[in-house]
Amino acid sequence: MIRAAGCVLWRRSPSGAGIELAVIHRPKHGDWSLPKGKLEPGEESRHAAVREVLEETGMTCAPGPELPTARYEVAGRAKEVRYWAAEATGGTFRPNREVDELLWLSPGAARSRLTYDKDRDLVAAFLTTTGPAH
């Protein structure tokens, strides 16, 4: 089993109109997704989620509620990815070897941009979990 963790990373919109979600482009896969990555040996999932957000987006974050776990197969191996809602608390994005672009989008625009249904489902779960304030 491949174990991974990630976040639906959000911030309050600079315009004051609701929130924005971070969507990343991974050139290796040619996809738009949410920040996530594999756990290191002995690493706890929540810690890995925060670490992966920092590595892929340059952003620090404060994890909140846990979101549904995604389970799927990659090259014939089972993969499990635990996710958290996480508010961005600082940092600056710089393109890196894994991620060449980060967009801050409204939840609706983020769902439209994401490549995978499982990521779109996570945005819906995030909106349900975090309530009408977001």
Q: What is the pLDDT of residues 27-67, one digit of tens each?
A: 999 999 999 999 999 999 999 999 999 999 999 999 999 99
108-124 burial, b if ≥16 CB within 10 A, otherwise e?
A: eebbebbeeebbbebbe
CATH code, domain with 21: 3.90.79.10
Closest by CA position to 63, among listed 39, 44, 80, 46: 46
Could you say which DSSP state residue 18 is in?
Answer: S
Q: What pLDDT, in 10s, does the model give residues 72-88?
A: 998 999 999 999 999 99
Instruction: Identify the H or E element spanning 123.
Output: helix 117-130
Q: Please, are residues 29 and 40 in contact by the beta-carbon 8 Å criterion?
A: no
Which residues form the domain of 109? Answer: 2-130
What's the structural domain count of the chain?
Answer: 1
Mean pLDDT for the stretch of residues 79-105: 97
Whole-angstrom Cα distance, residue 17 to residue 14?
Answer: 8
Whole-angstrom Cα distance, residue 18 to residue 3?
Answer: 33
Indicate if the pLDDT at residue 120 is higher than 90. Answer: yes
